[in-house]
Amino acid sequence: MVISVKDLSVALPEGADRPHAMTGITFDVAAGEVLCIVGESGSGKSVTANTIMNLLPPGLTPVSGTIEMGGRDLLKLSDAEKRQMRGSEVAMIFQEPMTALNPLMRIKDQIAEVFEAHGAFSKEEREAKALKLVEEVGLPDPPKILRAYPFQLSGGQRQRVMIAMALALEPKLLIADEPTTALDVTTQAQILKLVRNLQDRHGMAVLFITHDIGVVAEIADRVIVMRQGEIVEQGATADVIGAPQTDYTRRLINAVPSLIPPAPRDLSADKVTVSVTGLEKTFVTSGGFFTPKREVRAIDKVSFDLKRGETLGIVGESGSGKSTTGRCIARLMEPNAGEIRLGELDWGALASRELRAQRNRVQMVFQDPYASLNPRSKIATILTEGAVAQGQDKQEALAYARELLETVGLDASSLDRYPHEFSGGQRQRIGIARALMMRPEILIADEAVSALDVSVQAQVLDLFQKLREMFNLSIIFITHDLCVAAQVCDRILVMHQGGVVEAGSTAEVFAAPSHDYTRSLLAAVPGWKDDSPLRRTRATG
Amino acid sequence: MQTLRYILMRLAKAAVILFAIVILNFCLIHAAPGDPAAVMAGEAGASDELFLQQLREKFGLDQPFHIQLWKYISGLLQLDMGYSYRQDAPVWDLIMDRLPATLLLTGAAFVLSIVLGVVAGVMAAVRVGKWADTAITVAALLLYATPLFWVALMAILLFSVQLGWFPSYGMESIGSELTGFRYWLDVAHHLVLPATTLGLFFTAIYARMTRASFLETAAEDFVKTARAKGLSEGRIARRHILRNAILPVVTLAGLQAGQIVGGAVLTETVFAWPGIGRLMFDALLQRDYNVLLGVFLISSAMVLLFNLITDLIYLLVDPRIELNT
Amino acid sequence: MNAFMKNFLRNKGAVAGLILLSIVVIVAVIAPFIYPQSPWTMVQRPFQPPMALDGFYFGTDVLGRDIGAGLAHGARVSLIVGLVSTLVALLIGLPIGALAGYFGGIWDDILMRFTEFFQTIPSFALAIVIVAILQPSLSGIVLAISIVSWPPVARLVRGEFLSLRSREYVQAAILSGLSPMNIIFRQILPNAISPIIVLASLMVASAILLESALSFLGLGDPNVMSWGYMIGAGRTVLRQAWWICVFPGLAILFTVLALNLIGEGLNDALNPRLARKGR
């Protein structure tokens, strides 16, 4: 065993919602093994990782247990010994590659610093070593990368640099705390592959923290499921995912949307409600009087039709233009060219006064449940102010608001409360109710479930399905998550660098993608290889 | 290449602002009370209408606004800022005579406040919550609330009147014909009180800013990365936190440059320091508007210079700056 | 509001500031009752040290005026100038910042260049020039202080508006067909108000400092007694009569300190998340 954790408990500061961040944690990791700790937010998985690394934020203290590594208890080391241990025996990579590197230091200095801190090698050797590391993690043009500053690298490249630094002193244990969560799906696939390859070559133990069951299925040998600070279940990945022993694990795995789309619905008889042709949007950064203009083509000739009662998925990675498309259709942004029609109405050409009067026809649900409700308004105001501005009677609006709150699964008494009194999932339901208050024909959901834990996400996705049927809504569902798209969308639009690369019914696109980019996107979704336990479990139902 | 463009851009920007300040200054001259011709005539001791008319024609005061503005600008380009009848000398000469003293005073105060402020701020931040932090925070709070001129007076009361350590008046000992090194030592001796009192207020500002910025940077992700590498706390503080935390302080220092130049008016008045601030005060007493606005223009130009210097410092410390232009 | 009061009152510095300021305000209010005579009247022999004469706790100045009376009446001037000039500066800075931040684009460019220009000019020198041109008077001083202190307001408001405008609930409000006025005043402004309140309290403090500096240079309104003027008038006799300068200076110090403490307390109480980050 490289590391053995026994009966570890970490106390939360007084006044927290529970006494322990995690308690009674016991596990070990062997050389050459990837152990995943999976759990929803608040499960204590990150605290476990940070305790091993001795990087707990102030206020959190280990109260019992041992962490044994190489015959020593890591919790009992002196400060100097802890420092010596970090970076040389245990290394760690983090979630946010964009902020994890010092913006003012060249990459080579940041890598060389690991050697300096542990007094390894001479100055020249350090530079040569850094070059080799950068090569090993597959960064293009290593000499140039070494001279670069972090701001000149992409997120994926920065995460590779982080991995290079972590590998520098050949640690026995690598801790990866959600290392791919902030990355696009294709970049994520590359990083996961890199971690696996490096492990094969160096034989270290890897402790991988994630919230994503797909990632677990992709990379883990063994898995620990955590919930509210305790271990719910642990075992070999194929066993835990294939035949979960506890209710919680079963629910968690069933909540993961499947990459296999359900049978298609027949919508051929329905009328077209939105028709978009040749939509274009270019961002011009006007730097003022002295800086030159820079142009970025955000979306380029996007066209599609959407029928009554249909859900269209717009999928793509960051920078693909999917959100911009949504915002142009909602007329939160003005496109440079192209036509948007709602039935007979030339929606894209409405002047501002008319537009405001008809705003109710297109509504949006946003991504961030914490930023999408005005923190200073009561739910009653948030829900009714739009309807009242459209000329509806206040009492009528309130009555409808009560009705809608119950439809979305909340209590009507919520009206008198403020947004901060609700959880993320509840706020998202309020955001949906606000959109419905306007009695829209078209609902645009912009990454509406991306910020939610997987079990809450499943509930909100069900809600969308139910509402589509109740109100016969046309939904434009913008998402980066192909599994989510597979489950809720009738048709799919795949966007890449501002253009539509593929469009078609969800079943067709997922079964037989015609464009290379779509294929690489689908292949990158973690956990759905042909022999993966997740696919096997799901295929059998 | 990028760097050169950045510098050129900053220079162009400074030039535009300077031009705007010139126009503002001209408008202020026009708004100044009293008919300039009458003032001049008054100085000359004559005041009949014919003479006034002649004066107006001679100095172009009967010309339309834009022509006068043009004349003013072309005059400035030839370093002509008008004439002070009170002191019987061209304004430009008066200012240039006094400028070195002000540059010495403000420069010394600027360096002192930055160095002292950053040191105190870091000391407070690394001992956050301990008594050293409390002491520095309280001292900064007090200094930040004290009027500059009053600190100066209290310093005189304590260090000149009571203790007799430092002179309270002027820039050099009167009547002593010192030269070379001994002369400069004498100037330095005179400089201590004015530079310190001018600098202390800004020390307080920089100390508070450094402390806040240091603590904020210490919570950044890359500091956690540094810790995960096994670096010592001292090294993390120096190489990772301080270098990043200092950037907003440099920005603030650039913004505060104008305040230091303004503060020099008060300090020079209290210590009878022979700089342009003192010149401004005298002009104020005598309502000598040509001198007053000349000093205003030159001190604005000084601020632009300070800003350019901070821009250049920024260029040295932050590699990202070229991207932001 | 309750949580806010609790947070504020838990802050020892803020409570101390509140007490200090209350004392200054009370003195300012009752000044005409405790010193019914004009503070300019010569009431005793000059150069009387503090406590030397019964009823003259702070001594007399070069002309035999009661320093206590000057302090009490000076408090009125300081507070009024501080408050009014801050209000005027807010009236200039708020619309400029809001316009630049909400509408962006060319508006933002023009207004922010304008603001930067005013920030570049050495503000104290500009204030001197303005008062000198307008001739010393209370309204001239207020105007000069306002003109040099609005740029930070504009920058702050612009920043807040810029970030709040792209916040999702504001986008949702636009989609609900709410008017721009409704969005500015009901969705954005209430969420931008706490940093503005904090800045305003600090601005009152610096306005008081500025006023005292102007009066010290002899640019004060010749009809009203102010702390800065008292120090300026006493500085030539500093060696003989320290009290003439010391007491008004302490008065300024305590008033400004109180306002700064209150400002920091407000900041911590209104932005609890930021405050925790700062410690």
- Residue B8: closest CA among chain A residues belongs to which residue? A290
User: C24 with C79: CB under 8 angstroms?
Assistant: yes
Average pLDDT of span B225-232: 92
Q: Which of B32, B33, B215 sits opposite C279 (nearest CB)?
A: B215
| Identity of the amino acid at A454 | V
| Identity of the amino acid at A319 | G
Say what the pLDDT of residue C276 is: 38
- Residue C1: closest CA among chain A residues belongs to which residue? A376
Say what the pLDDT of residue A268 is: 77
Chains touching B, CB cut-off 8 Å, 3+ pairs: A, C
Which of C114, C164, C168 is best to mutate for the A interface (most A CBs within 10 A)? C168
Contact C175 A356 (CB under 8 A): no
pLDDT at B1 over 80: no
CATH of the domain at A338: 3.40.50.300
- Residue B220: closest CA among chain A residues belongs to which residue? A99
Say what the pLDDT of residue A438 is: 94
Closest approach of A537 to chain B, Cα-based (Å): 38
Domains contained in chain B, number: 2
Q: Which of C174, C178, C190 sits opposite A332 (nearest CB)?
A: C174
Residue A215 belongs to some domain of the structure? yes
Q: Is A94 on the interface with B (CB under 8 A)?
A: yes
Inter-axis angle of helices A79-88 and A107-117, nearest 10: 130
pLDDT at C274 over 70: no
Q: Is C243 on the interface with B (CB under 8 A)?
A: no
Give the ipTM of the model, two decimals please.
0.85
Average pLDDT of span B80-88: 79
All residues of chain C having their beta carbon less than 8 Å from the beta carbon of residue A386 are 173, 175-178
Say what the pLDDT of residue A498 is: 92
Band of residue C232 on the pLDDT scale cut at 50, 70, 90: confident
Residue A279 and residue A219 share a domain = no
Q: Is B316 on the interface with A (CB under 8 A)?
A: no
Residue A443 and residue A358 share a domain = yes
Say what the pLDDT of residue C279 is: 30
Chains touching C, CB cut-off 8 Å, 3+ pairs: A, B
User: A290 with A270: CB under 8 angstroms?
Assistant: no
Percent of chain B exceeding pLDDT 90 equals 30
Residue B155 and residue B272 share a domain = yes
Residue A398 belongs to some domain of the structure? no
Q: Is A103 on the interface with B (CB under 8 A)?
A: yes
CATH number of the domain located at residue range(s) C2-41+53-278 in this protein: 1.10.3720.10
What average pLDDT does the structure give for chain B? 85
All residues of chain B having their beta carbon less than 8 Å from the beta carbon of residue C278 are 212, 215-216
Q: Is C55 on the interface with A (CB under 8 A)?
A: no
pLDDT at C69 over 60: yes
CA distance A523 to A519: 6
Contact C168 A374 (CB under 8 A): no
Residue A120 and residue A76 share a domain = no
What average pLDDT does the structure give for chain C? 86
Residue A332 belongs to some domain of the structure? yes
Residue A482: which of A527, A516, A515 has the closest Cα?
A: A527
All residues of chain C having their beta carbon less than 8 Å from the beta carbon of residue B265 are 124-125, 128, 217
Residue A388 belongs to some domain of the structure? no
Say what the pLDDT of residue A108 is: 92
Give the torsion sign (CA, A369, A371, A376, A379). negative
Q: Which of B129, B263, B285 sits opposite C218 (nearest CB)?
A: B285
| Identity of the amino acid at A450 | S
Q: Is A356 on the interface with C (CB under 8 A)?
A: yes
Backbone angles phi, psi at A97, to 5 degrees: -65, -25
State how far Cα B36 lies from the chain centre: 30
CA distances from A512 to A503, A507, A540 (A): 12, 8, 21
Q: Which of B16, B230, B320 sits opposite A118 (nearest CB)?
A: B230
| Residue predicted with more confidence, A20 or B176 | A20
Closest approach of C17 to chain A, Cα-based (Å): 28
Q: Is C163 on the interface with A (CB under 8 A)?
A: no
Residue B324 belongs to some domain of the structure? no
Give per-residue burial for B284-322: e unless 16+ CB within 10 Å, then b. beebbbbbbbbbbbbbbbbbbebbbebbeebeeebbebe
Residue B193 and residue B68 share a domain = no
Residue A10 belongs to some domain of the structure? yes
pLDDT at B323 over 50: no
Give the angle subtended at the CA of B296 by the CAs of B262 and C89, to the nearest 5°.
65
Residue A237: which of A536, A13, A539 has the closest Cα?
A: A536
Residue B322 belongs to some domain of the structure? no
User: What residues 96-155 of chain B have any CB closer than 8 A to a CB of chain A?
Assistant: none
Residue A339 and residue A204 share a domain = no
- Which helix (H) or strand (E) covers residue A362, if one does? strand A362-365
Residue A383 belongs to some domain of the structure? no
Residue A140 and residue A108 share a domain = yes
Contact A330 C175 (CB under 8 A): yes
Q: Is C176 on the interface with A (CB under 8 A)?
A: yes
pLDDT at B213 over 90: yes
Say what the pLDDT of residue A287 is: 53
Residue A369: which of A316, A321, A422 has the closest Cα?
A: A422
CATH of the domain at B209: 1.10.3720.10
Q: Which of B228, B240, B325 sits opposite A92 (nearest CB)?
A: B228
- Residue B240: closest CA among chain A residues belongs to which residue? A102
Q: Is B2 on the interface with A (CB under 8 A)?
A: no
CA distances from C227 to B233, C23, C77, C123 (A): 48, 16, 9, 21
Residue located via tokens 């009677």: A393
Contact B129 C279 (CB under 8 A): yes
All residues of chain B having their beta carbon less than 8 Å from the beta carbon of residue A86 are 227-230
Residue B295 and residue B147 share a domain = yes
Q: Which of B228, B317, B323 sits opposite A86 (nearest CB)?
A: B228
Percent of chain B exceeding pLDDT 70 equals 92
Sheet hosting strand A294-307, strand order edge to edge: A294-307, A272-285, A337-342, A345-346
| Residue predicted with more confidence, A406 or B167 | A406
Residue B323 belongs to some domain of the structure? no
User: What residues 164-193 of chain A have any CB closer than 8 A to a CB of chain C?
Assistant: none
Contact C129 B17 (CB under 8 A): no
Residue A85 and residue A56 share a domain = yes
Residue A315 and residue A458 share a domain = yes
Question: What digits encode the pLDDT tens for the residues B235-260?
Answer: 999 999 999 999 989 888 888 887 88
Percent of chain C exceeding pLDDT 90 equals 37
pLDDT at B197 over 80: yes
All residues of chain B having their beta carbon less than 8 Å from the beta carbon of residue C238 are 153, 156-157, 161
CA distance B170 to A521: 77
Q: Is A88 on the interface with B (CB under 8 A)?
A: yes
Q: Is C171 on the interface with A (CB under 8 A)?
A: yes
Residue B179 and residue B156 share a domain = yes
Residue A204: which of A179, A233, A176, A235 has the closest Cα?
A: A176
- Listed as ranges, residues in chain A with pLDDT below 50 are 288-289, 541
Q: Between the ranges A281-295, B106-120, C124-138, where is the mean pLDDT highest? A: B106-120
Closest approach of B312 to chain C, Cα-based (Å): 17
Residue B222 and residue B83 share a domain = no
Q: Which structural domain range is residue B83 located in?
A: 2-91
Contact B266 C212 (CB under 8 A): no
Residue B297 and residue B163 share a domain = yes
Say what the pLDDT of residue B69 is: 81
Its pTM stands at 0.85
Residue B277 and residue B138 share a domain = yes
Chains touching A, CB cut-off 8 Å, 3+ pairs: B, C
Residue A68 and residue A4 share a domain = yes
Q: Is C278 on the interface with B (CB under 8 A)?
A: yes
Say what the pLDDT of residue B13 is: 85
| Identity of the amino acid at C14 | A
- Residue A363: closest CA among chain C residues belongs to which residue? C175
CA distance C211 to C224: 12
Last-in-domain residue among A146, A170, A194: A170
- Residue A290: closest CA among chain C residues belongs to which residue? C109
| Identity of the amino acid at A437 | M
Number of Cβ pairs < 8 A linking chain A and chain B: 79
All residues of chain A having their beta carbon less than 8 Å from the beta carbon of residue B128 are none
All residues of chain C having their beta carbon less than 8 Å from the beta carbon of residue B149 are 213, 216, 231-232
Question: What digits encode the pLDDT tens for the residues C157-213?
Answer: 999 998 898 899 999 999 998 988 889 988 999 889 888 988 999 899 999 999 999
Last-in-domain residue among B42, B74, B91: B91
Q: Is A326 on the interface with C (CB under 8 A)?
A: no
Question: What digits encode the pLDDT tens for the residues C239-255?
Answer: 888 888 888 999 999 99
Residue A387: which of A435, A344, A332, A457 has the closest Cα?
A: A435
DSSP-derived letter for residue A141 is S
CA distances from A232 to A86, A245, A465 (A): 29, 9, 31
Q: Which residue blocks in A472-532 are alpha helix, DSSP H? A: 482-488, 506-511, 516-524
Closest approach of B128 to chain A, Cα-based (Å): 13
Residue A360 and residue A471 share a domain = yes
Residue A348 and residue A308 share a domain = yes
Residue B181 and residue B108 share a domain = yes
Residue A386 belongs to some domain of the structure? no
Residue A480 and residue A454 share a domain = yes
CA distance A107 to A126: 13
Question: What value does the CA radius of gyration of chain A take, rounded to a whole number of Å?
Answer: 26
Residue B161 and residue B40 share a domain = no
Say what the pLDDT of residue B77 is: 83
Reported in sequence order, the residue ranges of A145-263 that DSSP labels E, i.e. its strands, are: 173-177, 205-210, 222-227, 230-236
Contact A86 B317 (CB under 8 A): no
CA distance A405 to A429: 8
Which of A374, A376, A384 is best to mutate for the C interface (most C CBs within 10 A)? A374
Reported in sequence order, the residue ranges of A77-161 that DSSP labels E, i.e. its strands, are: 90-93
Q: Which structural domain range is residue A150 located in?
A: 99-170
CA distance B319 to B307: 19
Q: Is C167 on the interface with A (CB under 8 A)?
A: yes
Classify burial at A259, counting beta carbons within 10 Å of its beta carbon; exposed 0-12, middle 13-18, buried 19 or more.
Answer: buried
Residue B171 and residue B274 share a domain = yes
SS (H, E, C) chain C: CHHHHHHHHHCHHHHHHHHHHHHHHHHHHHHHHHCCCCCCCECCCCCCCCCCCCCCCCCECCCCEEHHHHHHHHHHHHHHHHHHHHHHHHHHHHHHHHHHHHHCHHHHHHHHHHHHHHHHCCHHHHHHHHHHHHCCCHHHHHHHHHHHHCHHHHHHHHHHHHHHHCCHHHHHHHHCCCCHHHHHHHHHHHHHHHHHHHHHHHHHHHHHHHHHHHHHCCCCCCCCCCHHHHHHHHHHHCCCCHHHHHHHHHHHHHHHHHHHHHHHHHHHHHCHHHHHHCC
Residue B87 and residue B133 share a domain = no
Give the torsion sign (CA, B95, C149, C256, C233). positive
Residue A413 belongs to some domain of the structure? no
Give the torsion sign (CA, A268, A271, A273, A279). positive
Residue A9 and residue A76 share a domain = yes
Domains contained in chain A, number: 3
